[in-house]
Amino acid sequence: MGELLDRIDNPDDLKKLSEEELPQVVSEIRDMIIDVTSKTGGHLGASMGAAELVVALHYLYDTPRDKLIWDVGHQAYGHKILTGRRDRFHTLRQWGGIAGFPDRRESKYDHFNVAHGGTSISAALGMAAARDLQGDDYRVVAIIGDGSLTAGMAMEGLNNGGHMDRDITVILNDNKMGISKNVGAMCSYLSRIMTGEWANRARKVRDELQKLLTQVPIVGETAVALMDRVEDSVKNFIVPGMLFEELGFRYIGPVDGHRIDLLLPTLRNVMKMKGPNLVHVITQKGYGYPYSEKEPITYHGVTKFDPETGAFVKKAPGPPGYSKVFVETLAKLSRRDEKIVAISAAMLEGTALVNYQKEFTDRCFDVGMCEQHAVTFAAGLALRGMKPVAAIYSTFLQRAYDQIIHDVCLTNVPVTFALDRSGLVGDDGPTHQGAFDIAYLRCLPNMVVMSPKDENELQRMTLTAIEYPGPAAVRFPRGSGEGVPMDEEIEPLPIGKAELVREGEDVALIALGPMVGLSMESAEQLAELRIQAAVLNLRFVKPLDGDIVADLARRCGRIVTIEEGTRMGGMGSAILEFLAERGITGVPVTRLGFPDRFIEHGSPQHQREDAGLTPGDITQAARDLIEGRTKEASSVSEHA
């Protein structure tokens, strides 16, 4: 791939090069990132922008003894290439290949598993404290993007880091963007710093003047004392990064992150400094590739594309995606109800709310990477008569669990949670799988939990949730719908009412969401074996349609539950609990869902095969029940 890069198997090889050769290494890293992501997809923009920073860090620091902690990790492709994974980089995000984010199982250079934003400073501070308690002397560096700095957890880490006064370096990789353009006061503050580079010169002048005055007897000491007394009053005007300094961090910067000749001397000086330091590095997202420079949002996370033209490989025409259907439904409902508002936590693009925001500018709130704030903000809106819809990925809503319980469910306010990316998410892997939302939501008092079998049912559930006078969650998958006809007039669903989509007497397949379609395929396979399977579209995990579940249990005598979520505490568990409470005994139940482990990255088909969630798996589970046997590898059989 590159004349120099081919000689680098680890950072020690990188250190053998001269500083003059490093720009070529950066260029070759960018070429490799473009080449591989054009075939596999992945997070292009952030890693392109951080290429110089990655090279400078591994060139100077003694990695892996020195700990580099990457926030989110989508800026770390160059890090992977330089740390022994160059020859496997082409397997990026593929089944059995390397992960799209740093992973401790993958490399000794990955010190912390990441993919959610805002975690790096806290993790790095913990490592620094452990180092000091153990009497060790390695360096700890957290590399955080400015988008992640909007996360409350990042600010908590900064606050505690300055107080603890440990030797730690935070590198703020500032490209004015997370996935979308940054919002909020922190973004504005960083922008002011970037336009105030004169302030660094002013501080240097002040330091030189102080040194000069100390050489003058008596008068010099008096003048220096006077300077110290007025310093706090004028500091805001002459020192960029004042907020960080007040939090206890020495601020260094801003530094041009695309100039190795500036990064190296800056980082060398920082390596000599004690205490908490924050280095403000300015980069451009997508730097080094004209198409990603021009459209950084489009090229943040890419599918396959032509590296020569930047054109994305067109997919065959198909049904609309679930995210698009949700947002179009939300817009349709918002046009007739002015109380409906939408909330995003720095994911306008990911949740498809961009067009909604254009139409409903005053009713669409992007609160930054702040899921906790987003949920309590929604509760406040609901308490004053609005109808907030928080569109948040299933995996990211986990970050606001206390707020869901304390501020929404306990208060019992009408907040709608649109849980995008519920279930399997493919190549983003275990950090992004929507595996746990059924289990962590159905146990909450006042909460309604539902999942549509197709896109038409999604629009009906969206209306149902918004009209419900309490907390309601609609979980829907990543990807395209089933291609069913869409109702022009949207009607709500009766709360807690399931739908029997196929009659049968031998076994009942109780399915949720996209698993309904797979269960129908399985029912066809079973019919060829002269086994008549009933298929129930459960729709609502909470409240359950107890009457129809009880009827199927008595009529069929065997139940297989199928869900794209964890088995432990999931929909199947809810069925077992219900049967036990009703006193319905002697009915064997096999639960299909995610096993008690994380599902690795790869295609959704690979992931479903791994989890035992294909039509063939469902068919086999039903046959095993009928024939009185259970396969431990694919299912767990219980008797209520």
Tokens matching residue 174: 């500032």
Rounded CA Rg of the chain: 28
- Residue 508 sits at the vertex; the CA angle it makes with 504 and 513, to the nearest 5 degrees, is 115
Amino acid at 264: L
Q: Which position among 166, 285, 475, 608 bears the catalytic label?
A: 285
Q: Which position among 328, 371, 455, 457 bears the catalytic label?
A: 371
Alpha carbon distance 545, 500 (integer Å): 11
Paired residues of 450 in beta bridges: 474, 540
CB proximity list for 427: less than 8 A, separation 6 or greater: 40, 41, 42, 93, 94, 100, 601, 602, 603
Amino acid at 78: G
User: Which residues in 482-518 are b (16+ Cβ under 10 Å) and which e?
Assistant: eeeebeeebeebebbebeebbebebbbbbbbbbbbbb
Alpha carbon distance 269, 289 (integer Å): 31
The terminus-to-terminus CA distance of the chain in angstroms comes to 60
Strand 416-420 to strand 472-475: parallel, antiparallel, or no bridges (unpaired)? Answer: parallel
CA-wise closest residue to 515 among 542, 541, 488, 553:
541
Q: 3-state DSSP call for residue 437?
A: helix
Q: Which position among 139, 399, 539, 558 bears the catalytic label?
A: 399
CA-wise closest residue to 30 among 51, 9, 45, 46:
51
CB proximity list for 198: less than 8 A, separation 6 or greater: none
539 is catalytic: no
Q: 3-state DSSP call for residue 430?
A: coil
Burial of 324 (0-12, 13-18, 19+ CB in 10 A): middle
Complete DSSP assignment for 164-195: HT-SEEEEEEE-SBSSSB--SHHHHHHHHHHT
371 is catalytic: yes
Alpha carbon distance 265, 262 (integer Å): 6
Alpha carbon distance 386, 98 (integer Å): 45
CB proximity list for 547: less than 8 A, separation 6 or greater: none
Alpha carbon distance 530, 524 (integer Å): 10
455 is catalytic: no
- Number of other CB atoms surrounding residue 357 within 10 Å: 17
Alpha carbon distance 259, 255 (integer Å): 9
Name the DSSP letter for residue 321. B
User: Which residues in 220-239 are b (16+ Cβ under 10 Å) and which e?
Assistant: eeebbeeeeeeeeeeeeebb
Q: 3-state DSSP call for residue 537?
A: strand
Q: How many CA atoms lie within 13 A of 192 on its CB side?
A: 14
Say which residue the tokens 């995606």 belong to.
321
Residues involved in catalysis = 285, 371, 399
